[in-house]
Amino acid sequence: MRTAFLEALGRAAARDARVCLVVGDLGYSVIDEFARSYPTQFVNAGVAEQNMTGLAAGMALSGKVVFTYSIANFSTLRCLEQIRNDVCYHQANVRIVAVGGGVAYGNLGASHHATEDLAILRSLPGMLVVAPGDPVEAALATEALITYQGPAYLRLGKAGEPVVHASQPDFQLGRSITMRDGEDVTLVSTGGMLATACEVADGLAERGIKARVLSMHTVKPLDVDAVTAAAVQTRHLFTLEEHSLTGGLGSAVAEVLAEFEGPHAPLRRLAFPAEFNHEVGDQAHLRKRHGLDADGLLRTILATVERSTPLVR
């Protein structure tokens, strides 16, 4: 995803001198080309994320469209006060880009696990929160953020995420993408869980269960229409995310359903437990350890469907 983001950002910078990239002294293997091609639109702020964010806010208030870039926890938690007070309070056109969302940096431990970021960033006033599902969505989200007015958070994977979209979808901030339709269950996915959600849908189809799959690339504002339609048109609703159970996509969907009047499908949130992960392992290992791989999710969903009673319409 990060490669797709930087390629899209480079194209935008070539046609719009306002587009700038500010980094926190990392990413040289992937940012070198941007830095060489657009030296007047690139700043390395050093290992000083608070300064990076304050600098980006000042640049944005001077007319620039600024993307800050670092590992997910560094670009968000280390400088949360600056994001809140400098960026959000002033509605500055700063896009906080986080690479390694979820447990993409799994082997480096809890300091590099971004499993609370969606909860924290979506709580900030005026903040748009975007988590693309594959490299295609990452490029489209980057393009959309060039013209978006206001603060935004762009949560990316690391590298090697599979392309899920066979063709370019109709991408709109705040509107989910229906990957496939079905009337039995709905799988609402955000971020790098999209490929896994589609794999789970295939497994359900083999068992005669038709699954609707929604790529909820924008967590805030949430596509309320898509959520409520799924809640009344399908029998079960599941959210899939590489994030803590607290405050992320599942919580956002639950908030919508809590105020929905009328009967609707039950919701099951599938995510990491709301605790630090002390086990060492790569992304695939940690997902499997917590039942967030395709096999684990399929087992959980099948067990939920099998023990439920039919939804009363």
We report the CATH number of the domain holding residue 48 as: 3.40.50.970
Say if residue 140 is in the same domain as residue 211: no
Average pLDDT over residues 183-211: 97
Residue that is last in its domain, among 155, 188, 216:
155
Whether 115 and 184 share a structural domain: no
What CATH number is associated with residue 193? Answer: 3.40.50.920
Contact 85, 151 (CB under 8 A): no
Domain assignment present for 302: yes
- 121 with 223, same domain? no
Shared domain check, 210 and 149: no
311, pLDDT greater than 60: no
The reported pLDDT for the residue numbered 309 is 57
70 falls within a domain: yes
In a domain, 165, yes or no: no
Residue 160 in any domain: the answer is: no
Lowest mean pLDDT segment, chosen from 18-32, 184-198, 265-279, 297-311: 297-311
pLDDT in tens, 251-285: 999 999 999 999 999 999 999 999 999 988 999 99
Q: Give the mean model confidence (pLDDT) for residues 10-37.
A: 94
- pLDDT digit string, tens, across residues 90-132: 999 999 999 999 999 999 999 999 999 999 999 999 999 999 9
Would 104 be classed as within a structural domain? Answer: yes
Residues 214 and 108 in one domain: no
Say if residue 59 is in the same domain as residue 146: yes
Check whether 313 has a pLDDT greater than 70: no
Which tens digit of pLDDT belongs to each residue from 78-94?
999 999 999 999 999 99
pLDDT interval class at 160 (50, 70, 90): confident
Please tell me whether residues 6 and 148 are part of one structural domain: yes
Same domain, yes or no, for 18 and 135? yes
Q: Residue 171 falls within a domain, yes or no?
A: no
Q: Is the pLDDT of residue 29 over 90?
A: no
Q: What is the number of structural domains in the chain?
A: 2
Q: Are residues 201 and 249 in the same domain?
A: yes
Query: ∠ CA 21-128-174 to the nearest 5 degrees?
Result: 120
Percent of the chain surpassing pLDDT 90: 93
Domain boundary among 155, 185, 207: 155
What's the confidence (pLDDT) of residue 15? Answer: 97
Q: Which domain holds residue 144?
A: 2-155
238 and 133: one domain? no
182 occurs within a structural domain: yes
Q: What is the pLDDT of residue 310?
A: 53
Asked if residue 164 is part of any domain, the answer here is no
Judgement on whether residues 91 and 34 belong to the same structural domain of the protein: yes
Last residue of a domain, one of 121, 155, 189: 155
Residues 301 and 207 in one domain: yes
